[in-house]
Amino acid sequence: MARKPIIAGNWKMNMTRAEATALIEALKPLVKDATSDVVICVPYTDIDVAVKLCAGSNIKVGAENVAWAEKGAFTGEISADMLAELGTEYVIIGHSERRQYFGETDATVNARLKTALGKGLKPIVCVGETLDQREKNRTKTVIRKQVQLGLEGISAEDMASVIIAYEPVWAIGTGKTATSEQAEETIKFIRGVIAKMFDRKLANKVRIQYGGSMNPKNVKELMAMPDIDGGLIGGASLKAPDFSQVVNFDK
């Protein structure tokens, strides 16, 4: 079935407000005719600037993380209410770097997801296996657990707002490369896990992105795969010409 592609940029810890302004102004005319949904997930300090600059355009703004608590003694965290107040529409949850460096677990991913959904944010939930896990043939075991625990207690109705991003952590910064066939195989598996948790009809509606270094050189091949519905873009999202080429993969 036809699922509208969604290309989301993840700026990570990059871009001052001045740099963000320059990038967005350069990007807007390049993606204005995109047939896919276009999202930029920016650092907290850039959100208000990004929302203001993207107003009236087809670019939506997301955050890179959200707290599971509504408020309280959680130094350094940002709540869903705070994000929503700024005009944020999307939020990344459970990115591999959050799992690797900041102690994110499947349980905290689930808690953040429920809070985000409760406040009307559209979550991009990341899953993926490490090099060690892949070499030990544990990919399906790891992915199944991440999906099942991450989506535990989520209603079928809420799943309409959930986007999944598959990040092959083993292919990021290791010198190894995931082929389009490997990406498709794992994303198809993820769709199957969702089908067992809910049903096949719902699973066929869920958009699943590929988050393993999608760029202008490989985007057409990846997007030709039937189960890949877009990309969560890192480095290529920091340059307007590169990101626009990914967004306009079908042109």
Using the Cα atoms of residue 147, residue 203, residue 58 and residue 234 in order, give the sign of their dihedral: positive
Instruction: Return the pLDDT at 178.
Output: 84
Is residue 42 within 8 A of residue 63, CB to CB? The reply is yes
Average pLDDT over residues 81-109: 97
Chain-centroid distance of CA 76 in Å reads 22
Residues in CB range of 212: below 8 A, 6 or more apart: 128, 166, 167, 168, 171, 172, 178, 183
Over residues 78-99, the mean pLDDT reads 97
Residues 232, 210 contacting (CB under 8 angstroms): yes
Q: Is 10 helix (H, G, I), strand (E, B) or coil?
A: strand
10: in domain: yes
DSSP label at residue 3: -
Domain span holding position 73: 6-247
pLDDT at 247: 98
- What residues have CB less than 8 Å from 224, skipping those under 6 apart? 180
Residue 31 in any domain: the answer is yes
Question: Which CATH number does the domain housing residue 17 bear?
Answer: 3.20.20.70
Dihedral over Cα of 30, 33, 6, 247: its sign: negative
Phi, psi (deg, nearest 5) at residue 72: 125, -165
| Backbone dihedral region for residue 120 (phi beyond 0: left; psi -120 to 50: alpha; all else: beta) | left
With pLDDT > 70 as the criterion, what percentage of the chain qualifies? Answer: 98
Determine which one of 95, 97, 129, 184 is catalytic.
Answer: 95
C-alpha to C-alpha distance for 64 and 12, rounded to whole angstroms: 7
For residue 144, what pLDDT is reported?
98
Residue 221 lies in a domain: yes
Q: Which tens digits make up the pLDDT trace of 160-217?
A: 999 999 999 988 766 677 899 999 999 999 999 999 999 999 999 999 999 988 999 9
pLDDT for the residue 175: 63
* 95 included as an active-site residue: yes
Name the domain count of the chain. Answer: 1
What is the spatial distance between Cα 103 and Cα 207, in angstroms, rounded to a whole number?
26
The 10 Å Cβ neighbour count of residue 189 is: 17
User: Is 88 among the domain residues?
Assistant: yes
Task: Spot the catalytic one: 97, 104, 129, 167.
Answer: 167
Question: At residue 63, what are phi and psi to the nearest 5 degrees?
Answer: -105, 170
pLDDT at 142 over 80: yes
Average pLDDT over residues 141-147: 98
The answer as to whether 1 is a domain residue is: no
Please give the pLDDT value at position 2. 85
